[in-house]
């Protein structure tokens, strides 16, 4: 039994749980021992007078203890229940409610800090990312591709769509424990999705969502991981909350090919060597569509 010292009333409640446990544990520990009750009369008569005297005294004491144990257990149970109820009620009324109000206040302050980006800002940002993606594809494949508006618009619309899908799934799965904020800005960093924990002791999640239509190279992946890590570190400094950066790369299976496993292993090894915590997740559009709460929980716990 571990006693809680973080709060006085929580300590009182934990004492109550300990007393309730004793009410059950003491009789079990006592009656599981045979003591001398299994000895036969002839075995006792063959012992020395001193040994017979000791056994008789032990059995006398045993009789007294047996008579006391039920009253001890009953008293321990009643006292434990009373202590637990008093401690629990006072902890909830005087401590937990204050903690809940402080948590709500902190979340409200954080939401004001995380300013919503305007539609114009978001569109401009996603268009720049789409152009960079197409230009990277041109350089790496040496194709004579023109930056046609239709290509850029298709990538931007796809980015909007998959980001909204992911945000909706996060809201569905974590609504009870987290607030889901989308398209926010804090200082010099922008945030696609922020999963804000309603429990101040739990960490938040910073999501950077990338939609792939033209393929990608490892340097692009590393740059975006570092960008997400930087945004998370800035968030921790400004918001004074712990966070875990999560880069989610979404595209068709043909965009990933066989490089996905190799890239993921390589980037995780690089992060481990620098002791940077971050998650890098690859999802096909089909996998995103089929993503449920169990799968999402498992992904975020890896």
Q: Could you write out the DSSP letters of every residue in 82-120?
A: HHHHHHHHHHIIIIIHHHHHHHHHHHHHHHHHSEEPPHH
Q: Residue 165: which CATH number?
A: 3.40.1350
Low-confidence ranges of the chain (pLDDT < 70): 1-10, 30-48, 51-52, 55, 91-114, 133-149, 254-259, 302
pLDDT at 164: 92
Considering the domain architecture, whether residues 203 and 263 belong to the same structural domain is answered as yes
Q: Residue 286 phi/psi, 5° resolution? A: -70, -40
| CB contact set of 159 (below 8 Å; sequence gap of 6+) | 126, 129, 130, 209, 210, 211
On whether residue 47 sits in a domain, the answer given is: yes
> Same domain, yes or no, for 190 and 287?
yes
Q: What are the backbone angles phi and psi of residue 186, rounded to the nearest 5°?
A: -140, 110
Q: Looking at residue 169, what is its pLDDT? A: 94
Count: domains in the chain = 2
What pLDDT score was predicted for residue 207? 95
Provide the pLDDT for residue 44: 60
The pLDDT of residue 218: 86
Reduced to 3 states (helix: H, G, I; strand: E, B; else coil), residue 214 is coil
| Whole-prediction pTM | 0.61
Four-residue CA torsion sign, 199, 200, 205, 206? positive
| Domain range for 230 | 115-301
Q: Give the tens place of pLDDT for each residue, 24-51.
A: 787 777 666 666 555 566 666 666 677 6
Domain boundary among 107, 139, 163: 107
- Report the pLDDT value the prediction gives residue 142, as an integer from 0 to 100: 47
The DSSP bridge partners found for residue 17 are: none
Q: Which of the listed residues 49, 75, 107 is the one where a domain comes to its end?
A: 107
Does the residue 3 lie in any domain?
no
Q: Please indicate, yes or no, whether residues 275 and 174 belong to a single structural domain of this protein.
A: yes
> Per the domain annotation, does 2 fall within a domain?
no
Judgement on whether residues 163 and 246 belong to the same structural domain of the protein: yes
């Amino acid at each position: 039994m571990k006693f809680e010292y973080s709060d006085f009333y929580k300590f009182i409640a934990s004492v109550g749980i300990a007393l309730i446990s004793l009410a059950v544990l003491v009789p079990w520990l006592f009656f599981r021992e045979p003591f001398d009750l299994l000895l036969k009369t002839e075995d006792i008569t063959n012992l020395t007078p001193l040994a017979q005297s000791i056994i008789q005294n032990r059995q006398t004491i045993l009789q007294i203890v047996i008579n006391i144990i039920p009253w001890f257990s009953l008293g321990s149970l009643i006292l434990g229940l009373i202590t637990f109820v008093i401690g629990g009620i006072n902890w909830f009324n005087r401590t937990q409610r204050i903690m809940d109000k402080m948590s709500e206040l902190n979340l409200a302050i954080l939401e004001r800090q995380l300013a919503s980006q305007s539609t114009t800002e978001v569109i401009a940002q996603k268009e720049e990312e789409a152009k960079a993606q197409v230009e990277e594809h041109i350089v790496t494949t040496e194709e004579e591709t023109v930056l046609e508006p239709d290509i850029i618009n298709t990538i931007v619309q796809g980015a909007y769509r998959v980001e909204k899908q992911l945000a909706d799934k996060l809201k569905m799965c974590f609504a009870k424990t987290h607030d889901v904020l989308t398209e926010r800005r804090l200082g010099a960093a922008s945030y696609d999705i922020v999963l804000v924990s309603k429990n101040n002791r739990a960490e938040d999640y910073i999501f950077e969502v990338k939609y792939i239509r033209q393929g990608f190279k490892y340097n692009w992946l590393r740059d975006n991981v570092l960008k997400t890590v930087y945004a998370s570190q800035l968030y921790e400094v400004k918001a004074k909350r712990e966070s875990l950066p999560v880069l989610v790369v979404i595209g068709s299976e043909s965009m990933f090919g066989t490089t996905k496993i190799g890239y993921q292993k390589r980037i995780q090894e690089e992060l481990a060597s620098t002791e940077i915590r971050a998650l890098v997740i690859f999802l096909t559009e089909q996998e995103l569509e089929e993503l449920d709460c169990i799968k999402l929980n498992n992904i975020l716990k890896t």
